Chain A
Amino acid sequence: MSILKLHFKVDGSDFTRAGEASGEVKKILKELGFNPDVIRNVSIAMYEGEINMVIHAGGGEIDVEISPEVISIVLTDRGPGIEDVALAMKEGYSTASDNIRSLGFGAGMGLPNIKKYTDEMVIDTKVGAGTVIRLKVFVT
């Protein structure tokens, strides 16, 4: 299998559609016959990232590279950035509004969940400019 590259634009104005890109990647990984644990890890991590983009950053873009050895995901947004990454990584810490919590998110588990389900996670962020999160899930 050669490397498969996918690109998604995530609409920040429609919460109901958040997760469509992650669902599409999950479907493709299933069709390619990846191990169910790998598929679940990639899907959950990407879904949390996609939700974060919609609720915190007004949308963004996601690039996914699928190879037999590793699945790489790059989530890019031009949102407000993360002021304190260490604090944002703490379970239960969230800057989400009550409105976001009423939708079932903003429990302060997004970034910790992404870390939990991936093998590598690198966050590049600048306040006022945006955030890039690079993730890797190794297949073997």
Chain B
Amino acid sequence: MTVNEIKSILAADVLCCECLLENDVLSACGSDMMSDVLAFAKEQAVLLTGLVNPQVVRTAEMMDMKCIVFVRGKHPEEDIVTLAKDRNIILLCTDLEMFTSCGLLFAHGLQGGGGKK
């Protein structure tokens, strides 16, 4: 699934890196706990979160994630957008809640991590 498809499915706004929207993502992780995200090692993943602070971007950076979706209408401050832009991480914002966002992406074929290995 491309990030552009995720944008459409979640009726999301793009905050940065619009030129990368055709990038593919293969899996998704939804959490407000960054340590749980760091336990999830998947290639080309998208992170869905309701947490808004610079560590969300740094977590995505360490995990080589392509895109972060802020759910529940959360909007990051400009410094967070700049941090993501510098790392080529696409930021999306949706008014949908976490459960609904994850459910919609799953229904459209995006997979999770498959649980603890």
A43 within 8 A of B: yes
Among A18, A22, A105, residue most surrounded by chain B Cβ atoms (within 10 Å): A105
A36-B64, A40-B63, A44-B62 known; A18+B36 contact, CB < 8 A: no
Main secondary structure of the interface of B (DSSP, over half): helix
Interface size on B, residues (CB 8 A): 21
Which residues between 25 and 66 of chain B lie within 8 Å of chain A, taking CB atoms? 32-36, 38-39, 41, 49, 51, 53-56, 58-59, 61-64
A113 interfacial contact with B, CB 8 Å? yes
Q: Is the CB of A44 within 8 A of B63?
A: yes
Residues of A within 8 A of B55 (CB): 15-16, 18-19, 51, 103-105
Give every chain A residue within 8 A of B79 (Cβ-Cβ). 16
Task: Report whether B32 and A19 are in contact in the complex, using a CB–CB cutoff of 8 Å.
Answer: no
A18 to chain B, nearest CB (A): 7
Query: Please, which residues of chain B bring their CB within 8 A of the CB of A43?
Result: 61-62
CA of A105 to CA of B32 in the docked complex: distance in angstroms?
A: 9
Tally of A-B Cβ pairs under 8 angstroms = 73
Contact A26 B61 (CB under 8 A): yes
- Supposing A40-B63, A104-B53 touch, asked if A47 and B58 sit within 8 A by C-beta, the answer is yes
**Which B-chain residue is minimally distant from A104 (CB atoms)?**
B34
A107 sits at the interface (CB 8 A)? yes
Q: Which of A18, A23, A44 contacts B38 (CB under 8 A)? A: A44
A112–B117 CA distance with the chains assembled, in angstroms: 13
User: Can you list 26 A-B pairs with a CB-CB distance of less than 8 A?
Assistant: A15-B55, A16-B53, A16-B54, A16-B79, A18-B58, A19-B55, A19-B58, A23-B58, A23-B61, A26-B62, A40-B41, A44-B38, A47-B38, A47-B58, A47-B59, A48-B38, A51-B55, A101-B33, A103-B55, A104-B32, A104-B33, A104-B35, A105-B33, A107-B33, A108-B35, A113-B39
- Residues of B near any A CB (own CB < 8 A): 32-36, 38-39, 41, 49, 51, 53-56, 58-59, 61-64, 79
- Report A's interface with B, CB cutoff 8 A: 15-16, 18-19, 22-23, 26, 36, 40, 43-44, 47-48, 51, 101, 103-110, 112-113, 116-117
Q: List 13 additional A-B contacts (Cβ < 8 Å) besides A104-B33, A110-B35.
A: A16-B55, A23-B58, A43-B62, A44-B38, A44-B63, A103-B53, A104-B51, A104-B56, A105-B34, A107-B35, A109-B33, A109-B38, A112-B39
